């Protein structure tokens, strides 16, 4: 069968760099770090005492108090960005068939704060089982898609993908497939995460995954730098409206870019460590190129997973050289996690937005905090260190990898009718 074209017609973002898409993009191209001491709890006894929190977030700016109490923070974040994207794409047009609009979301953990609070309250009580009646619907990872569909009446495909840090990109790929197979006209996709909690920071500290650079949080996330010592935990969300091209054209929708391919693979190696030779990363990039039907030489920019961990950055760089050959030295590579931190299950969503805006604006966001070269990386690779670079971006690839060995990648293309 002939597959339908899929375009991007709306965006929303709530990140450590800003509470709208425009604020987020301004922070990216200006190389702003979103890292700072943790404010959500007293982190003074933790090995890591900083994170990339959403700054100045007040739920009462978006919800009434009663409504907000029914939602974990990760769902609140999802609702905020969904609203920005719905308005951007004009999805409340009464002429649209809501039976043909879906919501496919991503979250790696879901309501961690809610789960933690309810367990602590029970443990501190007298043993009588007193739990919030909204405990389960606040905690479960799928509830964000449910809340979004209920608010807007979207009755198409509705679910949440969970694949650790690859979750949001998996959601985008599923949305892409549902549309190009003719099973939906529009899908509101993306991801949200709110894991800056005692359990989140403590758990990742126990894994020795987080940077412990407490004396300099703003420079702690330093992908591809010799002195990188782990990732910086982030929080937030992003939403992307994907739409069948002819449907978008017929209603005169604004088109940001075209999504042309999605790829998936597994490392099949270790529950938390990446394959040392980047095997899964190599395979997922080959898979997405094949699905998009483009040659490696077409790619101008890769928004890499680039978490700032000692092993992960090396494996991904090796994979890029294996897949792209000599072209690897002609394209721009950057890790926007150097600024936003790692949003776990929402990472793929905010990084897809960055890739789309790089195409639209002809600017590649930087990898900030590069201070010392690491001999493990080929000096001919252009990591877009420290400062944004202007270049025409016709094709952008976005990679996300997750614990469990899950690898996902998508390719966006500059829209041409």
Catalytically active residues are 165
CB atoms within 10 A of CB 372: 9
Report CA-CA distances (Å) from 296 to 61, 280, 305, 333, 349.
45, 17, 18, 14, 23
Q: Are 28 and 17 in contact (CB under 8 A)?
A: yes
Q: Is 27 helix (H, G, I), strand (E, B) or coil?
A: helix
Residues near 217 by Cβ (< 8 Å), separated by ≥ 6?
A: 33, 35, 36, 37, 50, 232
Report phi then psi at 241, rounded to 5.
-90, 115
CA atoms within 13 A on the CB side of 325: 5
3-state SS, 203-238, equals HHHHCCCECCCCCCHHHCCCCCCCCCCCECEECEEE
Calpha distance 367→233 (Å, rounded): 17
């Amino acid at each position: 069968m002939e597959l339908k074209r899929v375009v991007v017609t709306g965006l929303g973002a709530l990140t450590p760099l800003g509470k709208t898409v425009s604020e987020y993009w301004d922070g990216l191209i200006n190389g702003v770090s979103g890292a700072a001491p943790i404010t959500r709890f007293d982190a003074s006894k933790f090995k890591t005492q900083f994170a990339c929190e959403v700054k100045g977030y007040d739920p009462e700016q978006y919800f009434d108090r009663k409504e907000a109490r029914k939602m974990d923070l990760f769902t609140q974040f999802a609702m905020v960005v969904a609203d920005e994207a719905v308005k951007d794409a004009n999805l409340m047009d009464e002429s649209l068939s809501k039976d043909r609009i879906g919501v496919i979301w991503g979250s790696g953990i879901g309501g961690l704060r809610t789960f933690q609070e309810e367990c602590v309250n029970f443990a501190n009580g007298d043993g009588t089982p007193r739990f919030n009646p909204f405990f389960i619907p606040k905690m479960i990872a799928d509830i964000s898609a449910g809340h979004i569909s209920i608010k807007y009446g979207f009755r198409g495909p509705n679910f949440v993908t969970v694949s650790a840090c690859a979750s949001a990109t998996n959601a985008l790929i599923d949305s892409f497939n549902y549309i190009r197979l003719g099973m939906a006209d529009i899908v509101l996709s993306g991801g949200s995460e709110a894991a800056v909690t005692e359990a989140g920071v403590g758990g990742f500290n126990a894994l020795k995954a987080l940077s412990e650079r407490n004396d300099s949080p703003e420079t702690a996330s330093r992908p591809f730098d010799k002195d990188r010592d782990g990732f910086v935990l982030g929080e937030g969300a992003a939403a992307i409206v994907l739409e069948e091209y002819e449907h978008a054209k017929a209603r005169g929708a604004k088109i940001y870019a075209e999504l042309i391919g999605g790829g998936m693979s597994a490392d099949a190696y270790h529950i938390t460590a990446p394959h040392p030779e980047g095997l899964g990363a190599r395979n997922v990039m080959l898979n997405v190129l094949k699905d998009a039907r483009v040659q490696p030489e077409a790619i101008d920019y890769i928004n890499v997973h680039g978490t700032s961990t000692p092993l992960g950055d090396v494996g991904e760089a090796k994979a890029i050289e294996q897949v792209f050959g000599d072209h690897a030295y002609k394209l721009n590579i950057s890790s926007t996690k150097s600024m936003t931190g790692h949003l776990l299950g929402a990472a793929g969503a905010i990084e897809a937005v960055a890739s789309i805006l790089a195409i639209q604006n002809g600017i590649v966001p930087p990898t900030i905090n590069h201070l010392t070269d690491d001999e493990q990386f080929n000096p001919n690779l252009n990591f877009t260190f420290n400062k944004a670079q202007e270049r025409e971006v016709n094709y952008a690839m976005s990679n996300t990898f997750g614990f469990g060995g899950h690898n996902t990648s998508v390719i966006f293309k500059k829209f041409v009718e």
